Structure formats: C-alpha cells, structure tokens
Amino acid sequence: MNILVLAGGLSPERDVSLSSGSLIANALASRGDAVLLADLYTGCDIPEGADPLSLFSSDVRYKAAVPESAPDLEALRAEYESVNRGSLFGRNILKLCHAADRVFIALHGACGENGQLQAALDMHGISYTGSGYLGAALAMDKDIAKRIAAADGIPTALSLKITRDTEPETILSEVGLPCVIKPCAGGSSVGVSIVRCEQELSAALDTAFAYEDSLLAERFVAGREFSLGVLDCKGLPRDVTPDMSLCTREGDLLALPAIEIIPRCGFYDYRNKYQSGLTEEITPADLTPEQSRRIQRLALTAHRSLRLGGYSRSDFILDEVTGDFVWLEANTLPGMTPTSLLPQEAAAAGISYGSLCETIVSGER
C-alpha cells in the first residue's frame, strides 16, 4: 500500500506531530508499505516530470525529536507565506494525497484535528485515517464536547466558555478557585495554566489568549490522572490477539487498558508530556476491576457520543472527593511519539506499535 503520512502543519503542536509522523512512517515501512512523510504546511518538492509515487518507499528511516518548547509559528508563516499564499496546504500536498492509497493523518491541533483537513480530503475523494470531519470538529471544541458528554451521562467538571470580553470576576464567581484555564480548541497542554489564587488569573488568561480567542475555565479536580484509548479493531492484524483480561470490547470498538500519569514535578504540561523521564506512566494502571471497567465504558461512550472513528484517547481525573472518574476531553489524533500514551496502552494489551499503526491504516472511520 502507498501511504502518505501527513504531519507538521501550522500548529503549536507541529513538532509533536512531526515526531509522531516519523515513527508512524518508519513502522509502516518496516511492514512493507511504501511510505512518504510530508509536512502539510511546508509541502514537498516533486522533480519535474516525475511520478509522485516515485517518492514513496519502504526503505526509509525518519527521525524527529520534540523540543522542550512550542515552535515559532510566526517565523514559519513568514517563511512560507509567499509560497502558500494563505493556504494551509503546502506545495504538492494535494497531488501526493491523490497519489496515495491512504493518507495517515498524524497532525495535532489546528486544521489537522478540527475537521477542516478531513472535510477538504472528503471533497477530493481522498481516503484517510481516523475520525471524519464532524467527529473531529465536535471533539476539538472542548466546550461543545463537554456538553455532549454530559448529556450522555459522562461526569465532567464545571466549566465556563470565556472570551476576551469575559470579566475575571465572572470566572471567579461561576467557576471558582482553583481552576484550569485552557484554550478551547488546543492540545498538548499548550497555553494551559492551573490558577490557585486570584492573583494568578490575569497571567493565565494572557497565556491562553496568546493561542486562541476562546478559552475554557474549568473547575480544578484534584485526584489521580488517567488516559485511555479506544481502537476500532476491524483492521487488527489476524495474528494479533489483544489481552481481553485488560480490555473491554463493545462491537468493533476495543477499550485499551488505562494508563496512569504521574508528573515528577508540576502538572502534565507540554514539557512533562514530551521530554523523556519527566513523567511516570503506569500501564495497566493500578485500578480495581470495577474501576477499570468504569473508565473503559466511559471512554467508549465518549467515542460514540462524539461520532469518532478509527481511534481516540480520552483523558480523566479520578476525583478524590467523589471517587468517580471525571472526563476531561477526547483526542481524535492521539500522539504517537516515543513517550505517547496510546502506544503504551496498546503494548500492555499485546498490540505492538507496528500492529497499532497497521490497525489504524486498515480500519474504517
């Protein structure tokens, strides 16, 4: 199969995406697929008169590490504006998408996760991995996603959507302290702050507004942090048998074992997520059988409620007051870096990294 792995893009998470895309491309190539890794925004050169498929190969070895800080998007935009002319598609990207048998979307944030890219590919009749445009759009907007989840009985934290016109006093009176301030459609904890006193609120708002004009103020929930992936297992290789003592299956959806996340310092921010050794991650998480079934069923419900496809990963806090899981958000394109959570969960269930990538490529939306 000829597979185009799309990564990068014009997003604060582009470096994470390039790392994910590199690993995905390498894994698929090692299994015999002809692969090309391309940056959605910077594009790719095709020699004059060459067949685009000549750029695809099973003999590749890509490499991309995740720096400690988010990328300088303004510098990147300035560098490529004369070429892209306002488009988020770099040179030759659509031509390569048409040439491929399937596009593996390895983007994070911005147009990669908010449904724009999926809608554009649909309009061109291009086959791709993961959720469709509607599911991606619903999950990306944290305010809308939480409303849908709550309507389907999934516990969520009290929250308030805020804009630049929202008065700080409104946040304090309606959400209270401590609270979490985050971009409404961001990811990888970019622009996220925990506000524990009134004096910290202004700086937290400035940090988040640097990325988006719509934010979410969410009541802080103290407790252990978990993440759990859901995988459409129709594309699972025949020689792979998940450990069902750790998983829950409903139809074609497989809930993987939960992973517990314990940052060694601070909270699970951008640096702690992607720099090796800064966070302890335990999978399968130390939960009772009843707790494991509960969090898996909540993740499955969220996946269906938000109309997701292919795979997703939901994040939770085990509320130390109520003893129940509080759903935070669903990720439609979970990270696939060396320190990412979904590959660790799959491995615990007996699904190797290569098998995970193959399942995602072969599955339906």
Instruction: Note the pLDDT of residue 189.
Output: 67
85 pLDDT higher than 70: yes
Q: Is residue 111's pLDDT more than 90?
A: no
Residue 225: name the closest of 259, 191, 252 by CA: 259
Share of the chain above pLDDT 90, in %: 81
> What digits encode the pLDDT tens for the residues 21-68?
999 999 999 999 999 999 999 999 999 999 999 999 999 999 877 777
Query: Can you spell out the DSSP letters for 59-109?
Result: S--------SS---HHHHHHHHHHHHTT-SS-TTHHHHHHHSSEEEE---S
Architecture of the domain spanning 2-128 = 3-Layer(aba) Sandwich (3.40)
Q: What is the mean pLDDT of the chain?
A: 92
Same CATH topology for 139-154+222-362 and 159-219: the answer is no
> Is it the case that residue 270 has pLDDT exceeding 60?
no
- Kindly indicate the confidence band of residue 272, based on its pLDDT and cuts at 50, 70 and 90: very low
- Provide mean pLDDT across the span 309-325: 97
185 pLDDT higher than 50 = yes
- In this predicted structure, what is the pLDDT of residue 276? 54
pLDDT level of residue 213 (50, 70, 90 thresholds):
very high
Query: Is the pLDDT higher at 6 or at 267?
Result: 6
Over residues 266-272, the mean pLDDT reads 49
Mean pLDDT of 88-117: 94
Distances in Å between the Cα of 97 and the Cα atoms of 15, 93, 268 are: 21, 6, 35
The residues pairing with 8 across neighbouring beta strands, listed in sequence order, are: none
Kindly state the tokens that stand for 90.
């770099």
From residue 139, how far is each of 98, 143, 168, 171 by CA, in Å?
27, 9, 26, 23
Q: What is the pLDDT of residue 267?
A: 52
- Do residues 343 and 336 lie in contact, with contact meaning Cβ atoms separated by under 8 Å? yes
User: Residue 277's pLDDT is what?
Assistant: 62
Domain ranges, ordered by start, for the chain? 2-128, 139-154+222-362, 159-219
Contact assessment for residue 166 and residue 205, using Cβ atoms and an 8 Å cutoff? no
pLDDT digits (tens, 9 = 90+) for 337-363: 767 899 999 999 999 999 999 999 987
pTM, two decimal places: 0.91
The confidence score (pLDDT) of residue 268 equals 47
Q: Closest Cα to residue 242, out of 350, 161, 336, 340?
A: 350
Q: Please spell the DSSP secondary structure of 174-208, one letter per residue.
A: HT-SSEEEEETT--TTTT-EEE-SGGGHHHHHHHH
What percentage of the chain has pLDDT greater than the value 70? 94
264 has a pLDDT exceeding 90: no
Q: What is the pLDDT, as a whole number, of residue 71?
A: 85
Q: What token pair was written down for 165?
A: 């016109």
Overall average pLDDT of the 315-325 stretch: 97
The listed CATH number (3.20.20.210, 3.20.20.70, 3.30.470.20, 3.30.300.30) that belongs to domain 139-154+222-362: 3.30.470.20
Class of the domain covering 159-219: alpha beta
